[in-house]
Structure 1
Amino acid sequence: MDIRQLRYFLEIAREGQITRAAKRLHMEQPPLSRQLKQMEKELGVTLFDRSGKRLELARAGELLRQKAESLLQQFHESLNEVKELDEGVRGTLAIGAVVSCVSLLPPKIKLFHERYPNVTFHIREGDHFLLGDLLHHRSIELVVTRLPFEFVPVPKAYEIMPLPSDPFVAVVPRPWIAQTKLGSGSVTLRQLADCPFLTLKTDKTTGMHERVLERFRQSAAEPRVLCECSSVAIAVALVAAGIGMTILPKSVMASFPHPDIATVAIADTVFKSEVGIVWLKDRYLSKSARHFIGMFR
């Protein structure tokens, strides 16, 4: 079995039909069918269940799919590593960022582009689970994220470079500054406990939500949770409408400037968010990815 046959197999697995797979591979159906039979004969197993309208992977086929994807990825990475040996920094750098870290990217990308004009960017935004999945499947090379990184399919699979920590602040409707004691320049968590609270929480990621609630408990306070928001954008929109307040890392608000929103320092606790760059351990990193990480050191 060779690399070409593995590509054929993976295309059949994706399409679930030899006719469609042959069309995507720009070849006729009979030769592709012969290649599949040859693979099954060589391995001595049945790779697909052919009982339905769609070809479904058998147990052996599913195992081969996982191994084949990994082998082909390593094969392409090896080719890229060889090609880059005598080349400058060029190509496309695919990176991910959680929305609360997006504001960290523009100054670095601007400087990087000035130094390496032959590199283009592909940027994906999402939660830990989406970005972790993209990283695991090599759709992106690195992630700028809040720590800890909650997507961990394989323990100790990641390298993490910590970045400077980011203080949490109270994000409040601007009219509240004049109407309450928040105008003193700082506020305690006990004061905030009396305000309608908008918390960030999704079905998969709960780290920031739990950290904020724990800080309230340490201050012998319990927030009045009005709404659980699945994104920073939702929470900020509700704050701007005067519905409630939230607590976010200070740098987040650089991405959501709004005239009806004010940020206030939290006085009674040292409350910071840890930030870092995450990439797969023991996997090839392109020159552009290595140089981009270097700009944060």
Structure 2
Amino acid sequence: MDVRALRYFVETVRHASFTKAARALFVTQSTVSKMIRQLEEEAGTQLLVRDGHTARPTDTGRVMYQRGQQVLEVMRQLGEEIRETSDLRRGELEVGIPPMINLLFTPVVKRFRELHPAVRLTLREGTGRAVETLVGDGELEVGATILPVAPDSGLEVRPFGSYPVWVVGPPDSPWAGKKSLPLTALRDTRLLIPTDDFAMTRRLRQGFAAAGIEPRIAAQSAHWDFLVSLASAGLGAALLPEPLVQRMKTRGLSTARLARSAMQWEVGHIWRAPVSRAPGYLSHAARAWLEVCDAVLGQTARARSGAPRI
């Protein structure tokens, strides 16, 4: 059913006149008459009784008028909701964030809330691999993870940060006092790393494999503060990204940065790649989230580049 014809019909019944309806709609009287005839043909029955310059609805016309007002109101609300969504005056967004990354997003969330208070934002925590799976399955629209992702993951990637990996060990570590270490310096070191469901651990294993090193894993934990605690007890050296180490109590421990050529902790956003030739789509809220991340995390990276090292 043509919504425009329905609108013309409702206006005609409201004004009880083709002439007045045409004036209210800013069209000609013949246009109103034509559209109502089309509506009657589609309905298969007469909707208006024409009596000189007036028009009154038939019994079927009264039903059409009552329901027509409801349809037009729904269409008006739909248009308003579409405009509000486009303008980010409504909507919702769920973002997947691994625990090792979430500390980066405090200023992002703050800024997003300031700019788009009407958008309901939910942060869903899970390991990097879990977030990748949720995004790949379409359960989450956008998420963050440690890069790189698998080439066959079907995910689009936008990097937003690159940070050094730090080695934290007991004070009597063989490399104590050094500021930077090659990965080969850890060949015989007992290592303390996150559990295998962390994308960070996947990145570490890739780095060791590329260097031809079989890592000696002493312990794994999902809690990075516990890894530092194990290191302080002399059970090995913990490998953690710089943003985490900056928040740990490392006084009295040996700390050194892995050489950039050895490994970096690279993080990025992911979303589903376009299927076949179909164009990819991100909601207005998701695009706004990425824009805020680019702005806020970009500023953080620039500030970090001039900040003193640990």
* TM-score, length basis structure 2: 0.55
Distance 1:132 1:81 in 2: 31
Q: How far 1:198 sits from its partner (Å)?
A: 1.6
Larger mean Cα displacement after TM superposition, 264-273 or 93-102: 264-273
Aligned to 2:99: 99
Distance 2:140 2:198 in 1: 20
Q: Secondary structure of the equivalent of 2:140? A: coil
- Could you list the per-position Cα deviations for residues 78-107 of structure 1 after superposition, in whole angstroms to 9, with x for gaps in the alignment? 999946455434333210112222222111
Aligned to 1:196: 190
Aligned to 2:49: none
Which amino acid is the alignment partner of residue 114 of structure 1? Answer: E
* TM-score, length basis structure 1: 0.58
Q: How far 1:210 sits from its partner (Å)?
A: 1.6
Greater Cα radius of gyration, structure 1 or 2: 2
- The match for 1:257 among 248, 252, 264 is 248
Unaligned runs of 5+ residues in structure 1 are: 1-77
Distance 1:80 1:141 in 2: 24
- Could you list the per-position Cα deviations for residues 240-292 of structure 1 after superposition, in whole angstroms to 9, with x for gaps in the alignment? 444211223222335x5234566421248442133210012345433221111
Q: How far 1:117 sits from its partner (Å)?
A: 1.9
Within-5 A mapping of 1:1-297: 82=82, 84-85=84-85, 87-150=87-150, 155=152, 157-173=154-170, 175-176=171-172, 180-202=174-196, 207-214=202-209, 216-217=211-212, 223-229=215-221, 232=224, 234-254=226-246, 257-259=248-250, 263-267=255-259, 269-282=261-274, 284-297=281-294
Larger mean Cα displacement after TM superposition, 93-102 or 122-131: 122-131
Q: How far 1:184 sits from its partner (Å)?
A: 3.2
Distance 2:202 2:164 in 1: 16
Does the CA contact (< 8 Å) of 1:95 and 1:142 recur in 2? yes
| Pair 186,229 (structure 1): closer, same or farther in 2 beyond 3 Å | same
Distance 2:91 2:234 in 1: 46
**Percent identity over the alignment?**
27
Does the CA contact (< 8 Å) of 2:192 and 2:218 recur in 1? yes
Distance 1:139 1:80 in 2: 27
Q: Secondary structure of the equivalent of 1:90? A: coil
Q: How far 1:191 sits from its partner (Å)?
A: 3.8
Q: Secondary structure of the equivalent of 2:243? A: helix
What number of residue pairs does the alignment pair up? 210
Distance 2:216 2:153 in 1: 37
| Pair 149,223 (structure 1): closer, same or farther in 2 beyond 3 Å | closer
| Pair 118,195 (structure 1): closer, same or farther in 2 beyond 3 Å | same
> RMSD of the TM alignment (CA)?
3.5
Q: How far 1:207 sits from its partner (Å)?
A: 2.0
| Pair 226,146 (structure 1): closer, same or farther in 2 beyond 3 Å | same
Distance 2:85 2:242 in 1: 41
Q: How far 1:190 sits from its partner (Å)?
A: 4.1
Distance 2:80 2:145 in 1: 26
Does the CA contact (< 8 Å) of 1:81 and 1:286 recur in 2? no
